[in-house]
Each structure stands twice: as structure tokens, then as C-alpha cells.
Structure 1
Amino acid sequence: MSDNDDLQKQKEELEKAYDTDHEIGEQNINPLGLDLHNPVFVVSAALILLFVIGALVFPEQANDSLGATQTWIQETFDWLFLSAGNLFVLFALALILLPIGRIRIGGQDAKPDFGVLSWFSMLFAAGMGIGLMFWAVAEPVGYFTEWFGTPLGIEGGTEASKEAALGATMYHWGLHPWAVYAIVGLALAFFAYNKGLPLTIRSAFYPILGERVWGPFGHVIDTLAVLATLFGLATSLGLGAQQAASGLDFLFDGIDGGLGTQLAVIIGITVIALLSVMRGIDGGVKVLSNLNLIVAGLLMLFVMIFGGFIAFLANTGTTLSAYAQYIIPLSNPVGREDETFYHSWTIFFWAWWISWSPFVGMFIARVSRGRTVRQFVTAVLIVPTLVTVIWMSVFGGTGIDQVRDGIGALADEGITDSSLALFQMLQNLPLAALTSFLAVVLVLVFFVTSSDSGSLVIDSITSGGKTDAPQSQRLFWATVEGLIAAVLLAVGGAAALSALQAGAVSTGLPFMIVLLVMSVSLLMGLFHELKLIRLAEAEAAGKA
């Protein structure tokens, strides 16, 4: 046998590893226009509706149960959340450096579907939009004033606490969350576009489970992904509704920022999201994401200039140096003395990012065909982190400076309402009414893009990986997302923020285990693909 024949035989044997019948059941469209062939849809919908009904009938018990579950998870699995987050960052960096980084999503000849700017704006808007608006001022100011506890027990109100506040905020919003998104997004894109498997979470486990991934094991994985996504999204949508309602209350006399206005915001934006869903990615999400990027950039530029450009430059240096200084101490789960901060914030954020990862990861996967693994991970991991450094330096740094200098309500009263912090900071700058209005619009559009993207993703998971499932199914999930957010706000009452956090933490734990196994499976799949590429190259060189 010639060398070329031997190479061809090896290549055929490797390709057989993914020669599988991967249709997850037969299509079954019912009179409501829903594709119910996949058990994941029925089980996920039933569990969610059971939660909604139970929470509405027994609100106090539901709130108590959510709180107790959150406390138990934070106290029992704190070390696991922190350790897993560190592993995800190291794994993502390794993907950039290893030879597998040359693999192109969709095959070596694939071309990108979207331009760089549109691609980046979509992944960034889907990834953190509402959260960055809500927490950019509240979180660093809360740490600086000790209102939210202090990172590593550093005394508040000092220059050291300013550094710790900005460093800890970046720790929560920097490499760690984007590493989670990068791994999930790459796994989904790779197995769908390179291996021809359905665009659904279970496909990422094919190297480990083989054909069993299309049975009960796969159903459990996808169901966990749907539940995590729905509660992660509900947390973000609930925060967005709180902030939008507070902004409207801040801007207009006679509008109360309470629960009634928050629920009205959820209903109104969910209706808009339904219309956006019907237009699809190109006509809906892409247009809104690009619009949001422009508005967010203008708002950030305004605060950067009128908050003091020299101060911004100084705050950027402080944020970068503090992030580098505190990332390792904050990543260490051993011997921590700041348990209130650590449990209340770091574990919540880690669980939130993990619960968001199926949604953000799958959305990023759908818009990333044609990029190499190295390009993909670098863009998803490094670029958003650098942008977040600037964002937090502008908004968080300005908020801390105002408190330190005794300017405005944040200095006088502290963080009395997290959803108001951004508007209270803007109040001390020129054109406060206009910028506050733009901030409300930004929150609302981020709300729409998150709901829109989430419904597209959940629809794909529950239809067995289809990207062309019935439109009525996408509308169903967009409605459910708004419903869960409304229920969590309602049952939480005055402690609505805690209820939103508890929902994210409760679903983040089981899916964290899924992500750890997914990382191993992704590595197996990528090295398999690299062998195929090298064999093809050797075969081509032999024929030359």
C-alpha cells in the first residue's frame, strides 16, 4: 500500500467517528405550531410552568426556598465555583496558544458570515449588555463605600479601597465570564459546523457519550441548559426592568419605579422582543445590536469627557493595575476572610455567567462561522475584557470619584437602590435628563436583544438543534422569559434583587458540572479535527 493510500485510509477511519445518524426524533408539528418531537421541549416547558404556577400560588414559600437554596449552594460549593472559573480561563488561554487554534469553524475554506464590527457588537450586546448598565456604577461604588461588603476585607473610603473596588469589579466582568462564553460558544460552533452535528448543547458531548448523546443522557443535558438559560436570562431581564423603571421614575414626575412599573416594562419590552424574534438575526438582533453599540459608545464618550478626561485616564490605569493585582487573591478560595463579599457577589456572578453560557455561547456560535479557533477565542475573551476595562473606568471610576469628592446623592446616601446608581451619577454631569433618557433607551434595547437572542437559542435547543423551527415556538419562549422575570420580581417583593440572584445561582450549579465535562469533550474533538487536517495536508503534499 502506498503512503497516499495509507493516509487516505487513516483519514476515512477518523471521519467515521462522526458518521452518525443525529436526527433527534421525527418532526411533529401540533395544531399550535410547536415542534414537540423532542422531549426537551415538553419537559422544560412543563417544569418552567410548574415553577411559575407554584411561585404565584405560594409566593412566600417560593421566595424562602430560593433564598435557602442560594445560601446552601454558596456555602457548600463556593470553592468549586471559584476553582471552575479559574480552570475555564486557563483552558481558554490554552486554546489560543495550542496548535488546535488554527482550526477554522466550518472547515478550512469557510468564510465569515458577518463583518468584524457586526460580529463583535452582537456577541457583546448578547453577552453582558443589561448587566453592564446595571452594575457599572453600583458595584464599584458599593464596594468602595462598604455598602456591598469589601473585597478581601480592605477598609472602604480609601485609595486602596478604590483600587480594590475597581479590581474586584473587573474580576467579576473580565476574563472569567468571557472564558465561560468562549468555551461553550466554541464547542457548539465546532461540533455543529465542523462535525455536522445539531446545534444544541448535547452535541458537544459526542466524543465522550457517542450515540448515547441522542438518548436520555442528551435530553438531561439539554434540559439543564434550557433551565439554566431561562433563569439566567430572567435575572438579567429582571435587573433591566428594575433599572428602566427607576430611570423612568427619575426622569418623569408621576411615574413610580415600583413593581407595577417594572412589570409594565417587562410586558412592553417582551412584545417588542416578539416582533424582533419574528424578523430573525439579520433583521432583528443584528440591527438592534449595532444600534446599541452606537448609543452605548456615545454615552460612554460623554461621561468620559464631562466626568473628566484626565480622571478617566487615571481611572483606566488604576483599573488595569488593580485587576492584575487582585485577580489571583480573588481567585483563591482558601483562607478567605471576606465571606460576605465572596459569597454574596463572586459566587452569584459566577453562577450567573454559567447560567447565561448556553444562551450566549450558542448565540455567539451561530454568528461565528468562518473564524479560526484562535480568532474566535481571542475576540470573545480578550476584546470584551479590554472594552469592559474602559467601561468600568468611565462609569465606575466616575461614580467613585463623585463619592470621594462628596458630590451628589451617592456621596450623601450611598447605594440605597442599585438600579438608581447610574442615574444618580449622571445627575451630577451636564445634560442629565438627556443622558438619563439615553441610558433608559439603552437598557430597553439591551432588554430586547437579550430576550430576542435567548428565545432563538432556547428554540434551537428544544427543537433538537434546528435553526428553522416553527416561529410560534420562538414566540413561546420569548413570552416565557418575560414571564419568569416577572414572577421572580413579584415573589421577591422588596427583596426582588435577592430573588433574581437566587434563581441564577440555583440553576448555575448543575450546569457548571456540565461545562467542566464539556471542556474535556471539546478538547477531544479539536484534536480529532487537527489530526484530520494534518492527514489532508500530508496527502496533498504527497500528491504534489
Structure 2
Amino acid sequence: MSDQKQNQTDQDKLLEELEEVYETDYELGQDNVTWMGLDLHNPVFVVSAVLILLFVILSLIFPEQSNSMLGSTRVWIGENFDWLFLSAGNFFVLFCLILIVLPVGSIRLGGDEAKPEFSIMSWFAMLFAAGMGIGLMFWSVAEPVGYFTEWFGTPLGIAGGTEESKTAALGATMYHWGLHPWAIYGVVALSLAFFSYNKGLPLTIRSCFYPLLGDRVWGWMGDVIDTLAVLATIFGLATSLGLGAQQAAGGIDFLFGIPSGLLSQTLIIAGVTTVALISVLRGIEGGVKLLSNLNMLLALALLMFVMFAGGLLAFAGNLGQTVSGYAQYVLPLSNPVGREDDVFYHSWTIFFWAWWIAWSPFVGMFIARVSYGRTVREFLTAVLIVPVVVSTVWMSAFGGSGVDQAREGIGALGAEGITDSSLALFQMLQSMPMTSITSFLAIVLVLVFFVTSSDSGSLVIDSITSGGKIDAPVPQRVFWVMAEGLIAAVLLAVGGAAALNALQAGSVSTGLPFAIVLLLMCVSLIKGLTHERKLLSLQGKR
């Protein structure tokens, strides 16, 4: 046999071996149980639902003990695993940036012939609205003003009220909303999209670990991974929905004088959950896509108003200060060793990192669902870079205006600083023209973001708990929409006056185990992308 024929035979053999690596006997839905019209993945749905309902029941029966346990758990995690959260966040950023420049960046999700299902603008609107919509509304003013006035603790121990502290406040806020959270989302989203669209595995978290576990992912190991994903998602969502309810209730109180207590917040959660239910039944095209596009239009209108009302020159200065502050402080804030800003570090950075990790299964799977046909490089560039640019502009307009008011003694922020984080946005708008109109627009925007997050999350959890199916029965969608609203309401009720702490504690507690899951996911993704690159090379496509 000639050397040329031998080489061709060897290549054919290697190609056959590579193609067999992801062959599995598992079929979508083979572990599912049909019961009363439901299509349940056994045991993920049952275990997740029982644990969630058990949490709700025990929290309502023993509210004080539950609040105490949540608080102590958060403190324990912060004191013992702060280094893990911070180091993992740094790793995810580097990991995504490296993938963008590596040759695997040319791999297309779904294969070389795959075409994107959504336009660039609709795609971006959906991933951004699902990613951090409510959070940006809630914290865009409260966070930088809180750091500047020392109400939330100060980043790196920099004394508040100075020009340096303004730069640090804006930079630290962008640190929490910039590259790190979107890198976390990017890892999960890319893993899910790649293993589903390119390797033909179910669209569920366990599939991302096939290179490490093989067919064992369809057994108890995969059940544990998917159950952790459901719990992390439900508590991450509940945190956001609780924040949204607090802010919407605060805005309604601010505008109409209706008390913003627990009753108002619970009624808001009930109302929005009902709208989310309608949206989730309509699916991505008729519900989520429509609401996401509406979100972006409303958000753009409010953003442009704040930029012009606060003064374009002032905005330009704040934008430069935000960018320079982010660049100046991103490395010191990323260092877990020898920190002296204990209150800021544990109360905010660790909370945000846990929150993003808890949100990552939900946001990651949703982004994966709408990202078919994009290359790895295009995908990560959009997911990692574009939202950071938009967040920088948003924080510069809203946060910069809030800090300027606090510094110059203008309005409620200038007189009292942060008295209630849910009111900070409305207090900032109060010192600008057309307060009633813009405040009402802000309330509507919070509620629409609220609905978008809820229905997107329900579709995702429904997919996980049905074994990767995207067309699970209607009653299952109803169950998860209601479960999200119920947990948000319970966390608010259990927390009482310290409801924000209860929301944060729930998110941190579920974020810890999933941080380890995400680190292992990176290893699995590298193995999968390397395999795909070799396969395409042997097929003559690269």
C-alpha cells in the first residue's frame, strides 16, 4: 500500500473515531414520565419542585428562623469562599477573551451551513433584556451614589465625597456590571449552544459535561447538575423579581402616594406573574421577542432623556470618568488578597458574583436558544463586549447624574443621599424636567423587564426539567412562572425590613455550588471545541 493510501486510510479511521465520540444511546425524553398531562424529567422536576415548595412552606411557617439562617449562610459563604467567587470571575473573563482569538473562534454554532434565526438587533435586545434589565434599573443610581456617599461602604477604602471617590464609585459599579458578569453568561451560553447545535445533545445543562462524563451525564450525576441549575436559576430570578417589585412599588409610592409595603410588592409580583404567564404561553416569537424589543425602545427613550436633561457635556465627562475608573480599578478590585474594604467586598462584590452565577443557567440557556448560526467569535464578541459598552453608557448617564446631584447638593440625593435604594432612580429623576412622565416611564420599564425576566426564565427552567425539550406541556410552564413569583414574594415576606438581605442571601447560597459547576464546564467546553476543530479539519472544512 502506498504512503498516500495509508495516510488516507489513517485519516478516514481517525475521522470515524472522532465522529463516534459524541454518539450516544440517549434519546430526548427517554427518562421522562407523563403524569396528568405533564412531561416530567425524572427525577429533576420532582426533586427541584419538592425542594422549592419545601423552602416556601418552611419559610412561611418559620419566618424569623429562615431569615436568620439565610443571613448566617450568606456570611459563612462570604467569609470562607470569597476568594473562589472572585478568582472564578477573573478566570471566566480570561477564558472568553482567549476563545475569541483562538482558531476555534471560527466554529459556527449549528454547523457551517447554519443561518441565524434573528436579526442582530432583535438578538441583542433579547440577550440584553434577559441578562440584567431589572438590575440596571435598580442599581444604576443607587450603587454609585451609595459608594460615593459611603452608604454602601466604599471600594478599596477610598473616602467618599471627593473627585477620586466619584471615579472609584463609577469604576466599581462598572466592575460589577461589566466584563465579569457577561463572561459568566458567555461560558454557559456557548457551552449549551455548542453541545446542542453542533453535537446533537439535549439543550440542558448536563449536556455540557459530556466530554468529561460521557454517558454518565444521563445518570445521577447529570440529575444533580440539572437540579443545581434549576435551584440556582429560581433563586437568582427570585432575587431580581424581588428587586423589581421593591422598585416598582417605591416608584408608585413616589408618584401616587400608594404605600410601598409588602402588600403592594406582593400585588405587583402577582400582576406581573400573570402577564409573564401570558407571554410564556405565546413562546419566544410572540412573547419574549416582542417584549424585549419594547424594552429596548423604552430604555433608549429614558436613556436619551437623562443624557440631555443632565447636560451632554456633563454626560461626556461622566462617561470618560466611568471608563477611566473602570480601567484604573478593575485589577485592584479583582484582587482577593489583602483587601481592607471588607463591607464593600463581601456585601457587594461577592453578592454580585454569586448573583450572576446563579443567573447563568437561565441567561445562558436563553441566549443559547436565540443564538443559532453565530460563530463562536461573533457570539462571544457580542455577548461579552457589546453589552459592556451599553452598560457603560447607561451607568455614566444615570449613575453619573446621581453622583453629581449628591455632590452638588441637588434634590433628595443631595440633601439626604441614599435613604432607600429602591427610590434612588426616582429621586434622581425628580431633579430633572417632566418628573411625572419619566418616573412613570421608569416604572413601566421596570415592570416590562420584570415580565421579560420571568417568562424567559420559565421557558429555560421548563426545558431543563423536561430533559431538554423546548415544547413542554402548558401546565409545566404555568407551574414554573408561578413558582418564581411565589419564591420572590416569600423572600420579601421573610426578610421583612431587611428584605434586600434575604434576597441577596438566597442568591449567594445557590451561587456557590454552581460556581464549581461553571469551572468544570470550561474544561468540558475546551475539550468539545478542540474535538470539533479536529473533526472539521479532517473533513476539509478548515
Distance 2:305 2:22 in 1: 52
Shift of residue 8, structure 1, vs aligned partner: 2.6
Q: Match for 1:41 among 42, 45, 62?
A: 45
Shift of residue 2, structure 1, vs aligned partner: 5.1
Pairing of 1:79-98 with structure 2 (within 5 A): 79-98=83-102
Distance 1:42 1:327 in 2: 42
- SS of structure 2 residue aligned to 1:300: helix
AA at the equivalent of 1:408: G
AA at the equivalent of 1:77: F
Q: Match for 1:412 among 408, 412, 415?
A: 415
Contact conserved, 1:168 with 1:326, CA < 8 A, in 2?
A: yes
Distance 1:27 1:358 in 2: 21
Distance 1:113 1:270 in 2: 28
Aligned to 1:322: 325
Aligned to 2:534: 531
Aligned to 1:360: 363
Which string of whole-angstrom CA distances, capped at 9 and with x for unpartnered residues, describes residues 308-354 of structure 1?
11000010000001100000000000111101100000000000000
Shift of residue 26, structure 1, vs aligned partner: 4.1
Aligned positions, number: 537
Aligned to 1:103: 107
Unaligned runs of 5+ in 2: none
- SS of structure 2 residue aligned to 1:335: coil
Shift of residue 468, structure 1, vs aligned partner: 1.0
Aligned to 2:73: 69
Q: Match for 1:336 among 339, 355, 361?
A: 339
Query: More displaced, 454-463 or 467-476?
Result: 467-476
Pairing of 1:2-401 with structure 2 (within 5 A): 3-23=7-27, 25-31=30-36, 33-253=37-257, 255-401=258-404
Shift of residue 537, structure 1, vs aligned partner: 1.1
Contact conserved, 1:121 with 1:293, CA < 8 A, in 2?
A: yes
- SS of structure 2 residue aligned to 1:28: strand
- SS of structure 2 residue aligned to 1:537: coil
Which string of whole-angstrom CA distances, capped at 9 and with x for unpartnered residues, describes residues 405-446 of structure 1?
110101111111000000000000000000000000000000
Contact conserved, 1:22 with 1:198, CA < 8 A, in 2?
A: no
Distance 1:505 1:310 in 2: 39
Distance 2:506 2:468 in 1: 26
AA at the equivalent of 1:299: L
Which string of whole-angstrom CA distances, capped at 9 and with x for unpartnered residues, describes residues 103-124 of structure 1?
0000111000100000000000
AA at the equivalent of 2:447: L
Residue 434 (1) aligns with residue 437 (2): yes
Distance 2:116 2:10 in 1: 34
- SS of structure 1 residue aligned to 2:451: helix
Distance 2:410 2:223 in 1: 55
Which string of whole-angstrom CA distances, capped at 9 and with x for unpartnered residues, describes residues 8-46 of structure 1?
322111010001022353443211x22124210000000
Distance 1:311 1:449 in 2: 32
Query: More displaced, 13-22 or 425-434?
Result: 13-22
Distance 1:471 1:369 in 2: 25
Which string of whole-angstrom CA distances, capped at 9 and with x for unpartnered residues, describes residues 248-282 of structure 1?
111113x1111110000000000000000100000
AA at the equivalent of 1:28: V
Pairing of 1:440-451 with structure 2 (within 5 A): 440-451=443-454
AA at the equivalent of 2:248: A
Unaligned runs of 5+ in 1: none
Pairing of 1:469-508 with structure 2 (within 5 A): 469-508=472-511
AA at the equivalent of 2:453: S
AA at the equivalent of 2:34: I
- SS of structure 2 residue aligned to 1:53: helix
Distance 2:11 2:318 in 1: 57
Percent of aligned pairs with the same amino acid: 72
Distance 2:289 2:96 in 1: 26
Which string of whole-angstrom CA distances, capped at 9 and with x for unpartnered residues, describes residues 43-72 of structure 1?
000000000000000000000000000000
In the superposition, the TM-score normalised over structure 1's length comes to: 0.98
**Over aligned residues, Cα RMSD in angstroms?**
0.9
Distance 1:180 1:37 in 2: 26
Distance 1:325 1:22 in 2: 50
- SS of structure 1 residue aligned to 2:443: helix
Contact conserved, 1:27 with 1:36, CA < 8 A, in 2?
A: yes
In the superposition, the TM-score normalised over structure 2's length comes to: 0.98
Distance 2:218 2:55 in 1: 27
- SS of structure 2 residue aligned to 1:492: helix
Contact conserved, 2:280 with 2:477, CA < 8 A, in 1?
A: yes
AA at the equivalent of 2:223: H
Query: More displaced, 469-478 or 188-197?
Result: 469-478
Contact conserved, 2:41 with 2:465, CA < 8 A, in 1?
A: no
AA at the equivalent of 1:149: G
Contact conserved, 1:206 with 1:521, CA < 8 A, in 2?
A: yes
Distance 1:88 1:25 in 2: 34
- SS of structure 2 residue aligned to 1:29: strand
Shift of residue 3, structure 1, vs aligned partner: 4.0
Distance 2:177 2:200 in 1: 33
Distance 1:452 1:37 in 2: 20
Distance 1:128 1:307 in 2: 24
Distance 2:40 2:379 in 1: 34
- SS of structure 2 residue aligned to 1:205: helix
Contact conserved, 2:138 with 2:425, CA < 8 A, in 1?
A: yes
Shift of residue 464, structure 1, vs aligned partner: 0.5
Contact conserved, 1:25 with 1:38, CA < 8 A, in 2?
A: no
Which string of whole-angstrom CA distances, capped at 9 and with x for unpartnered residues, describes residues 186-221 of structure 1?
000000000000000000000000010000000000
Contact conserved, 1:146 with 1:156, CA < 8 A, in 2?
A: yes
Which string of whole-angstrom CA distances, capped at 9 and with x for unpartnered residues, describes residues 65-102 of structure 1?
00000000001101111000000000010110111000
AA at the equivalent of 2:130: A
